[in-house]
Amino acid sequence: MANPPLYISTRGRTEPVSFEQAVMSGLARDGGLFLPAEIPDARPLMAQWRTRQYADLAFEIYRLFSDLPPDPLRGLATQSVARFTHPEVVSLRPAGPFYLAELFHGPTLAFKDIALQFLGLLFEYYLARRPHRLTVLAATSGDTGSAAVHGLRGRQGLSLFVLYPHGRITRVQELQMITVLDENIHCAAVRGTFDDCQALVKSLFRDLEFRDRHQLGAVNSINWARLMAQIVYYFYAVFRLQAQTGADQVQVAVPTGNFGDIFAGYMASRMGLPIARLILATNENAILARFFATGRYERGPVHATLSPAMDIQAASNFERYLYYLSGERPDRVREWMTAFETTGRLTLEDWITHPDPLWAAGSANRAETLDTMRRLWRTAGIMPDPHTAVGLAVAERFRSDRWPTLVMATAHAAKFPEAVREAIGDDRPARHPTLEALHRLPVRRQVIPADETAIRQWMENPVSPPLTPPEPLP
């Protein structure tokens, strides 16, 4: 490639790096997040892309952002979806007035498999050409951790350490992690919230001596490769919805807590994908919805909800959007992030005076989430998971006669049997044999305090807790 793509930090105090450096380091050394120095214009290519199968489309998009040779890159794109059970990888399903893009046909039944199956392979590819190991550190509110475990288990040259909030993810999500006994996988429940876990991870990445000594890498959506992989399904789903409806543009509703999934849609829009509107949907932890309504980004208490992946009050990927909102001025991003990290609040006059018409936003509470699950089951025979139900509930407020609405269905309902039972009094419609099998496996369970010293000691000496018997089915 004559001009390989370069990656810059949102905070502007790190020299541009290669795609490999951005992927393997995860977070920029100045504490910022990596973005491509230039966003590729996909419009001249989209006519060729419209009928591509998923792996072929992924290859075409990945080659715009990376400098890998074509043959290994195509192989990685193909291998990354080999364990998906649906022939299209991402399926499109009518659901009342909307269309669901079902992103959950991977090994852990969540959308994060799409990116983390690819990232695990990408890490292994680079490590085969490097003389050292990689220590991957992740925080999860549920699905990232399980998808990372299943994407990185057994991979050569790396170890994975996952922090998750004790008692704040579903039993199934925890079992997907603690039943994996590969020697390179280490998971711990932290006595705190997801925001506590995320803050601990960021603090360790900011300790450059610790980071270099352990060769830290990231699988959270702070890693650019995660977002690059998620861009693909926006193109794929929008192309197929246009083919079904004949629409020139579509609107997309996205349940999101950490702003990674919807930011991938934002990047797809900037590449030229005809998205008329991005509808941001969240639960009672509505920091993002409040920003898009008022221009105020303000941390509040974390509420435990039916949709735990969105139980977040500090969305790490929001900094990437701030970079573009600032007019690509890293000095302003540094100023804004320092203000937020210091005070827990930020008011952006730029947004108040010039809101971006691409965006709409809203939140759905517990009652609205359960009602949406109940109604879709009764009217269409579809049981959405509670995160997807949040997306559907908010999408209902922005129904349009001009554009068909695509709702990102982010997980299989079987991952949230308690919510399904609460919605309809029975969890049988949401059962799945892959998840039921987890209850027959032994587990390794470990709980540690939300304390940086404790996390460091655990990573320095990762002694596995003893196996305990499998848990019975409820």
Question: Of 11, 74, 112, 155, which is the active-site residue?
Answer: 112
- Helix or strand or coil: residue 156? coil
Instruction: Please give the pLDDT value at position 345.
Output: 95
CATH topology of domain 91-109+225-430: Rossmann fold (3.40.50)
Q: What is the pTM of this model?
A: 0.94
pLDDT tens digit at each of 474 positions of the chain: 458 999 999 999 999 999 999 999 999 999 999 999 999 999 999 999 999 999 999 999 999 999 999 999 999 999 999 999 999 999 999 999 999 999 999 999 999 999 999 999 999 999 998 878 899 999 998 789 999 999 999 999 999 999 999 999 988 999 999 999 999 999 999 999 988 998 999 899 999 999 999 999 999 889 999 999 999 999 999 999 999 999 999 999 999 999 999 999 999 999 999 999 999 999 999 999 999 999 999 999 999 999 999 999 989 899 999 999 999 999 999 999 999 999 999 999 878 888 899 999 999 999 999 999 999 999 999 999 999 999 999 999 999 999 999 999 999 999 999 999 999 999 888 899 999 999 899 999 899 999 999 999 999 988 778 888 866 655
pLDDT of residue 445: 84
Handedness of CA 144, 150, 155, 161 (dihedral sign): positive
What pLDDT was estimated at residue 430? 85
DSSP string, 74-115: HHHHHHTTTT-SSTTSSEEEEETTEEEEE---STTSBTHHHH
Residue 381 main-chain phi, psi, to 5 deg: 70, 25
Give the model's pLDDT for residue 1.
Answer: 44
The count of other CB atoms within 10 Å of the CB of residue 191 is 14
pLDDT value at residue 220: 87
pLDDT value of position 295: 94
Joined together, the tokens standing for residue 21 give 């450096």
Give residue 97's pLDDT: 95
How far is residue 3 from each of residues 18, 38, 58, 253, measured CA to CA in Å? 11, 11, 21, 35
Backbone phi and psi for residue 473, each to the nearest 5 degrees, phi listed first? -65, 145
Residue 159: both structure tokens together: 């170890």
Q: How many C-beta atoms surround the C-beta of residue 103 within 10 A?
A: 25
Residues 156-181: b if buried by 16+ CB within 10 A, e if exposed? ebbbbbbbbbbebbbbbbbbbbbbbe
The continuous run of DSSP H or E covering 275 comes out as strand 275-282
Q: Which residue has the tokens 């083919």?
A: 243
Residue 465 has a pLDDT of 82
Catalytic status, residue 112: yes
CB-based contact 60:45 (threshold 8 Å): yes
- Dist. CA 290–CA 353, nearest whole Å: 15
**Helix, strand, coil in percent for the chain, rounding step 5:** 45, 15, 35
| Cα distance between residue 241 and residue 266, in whole Å | 18
Residue 135 CB coordination number (10 Å): 19
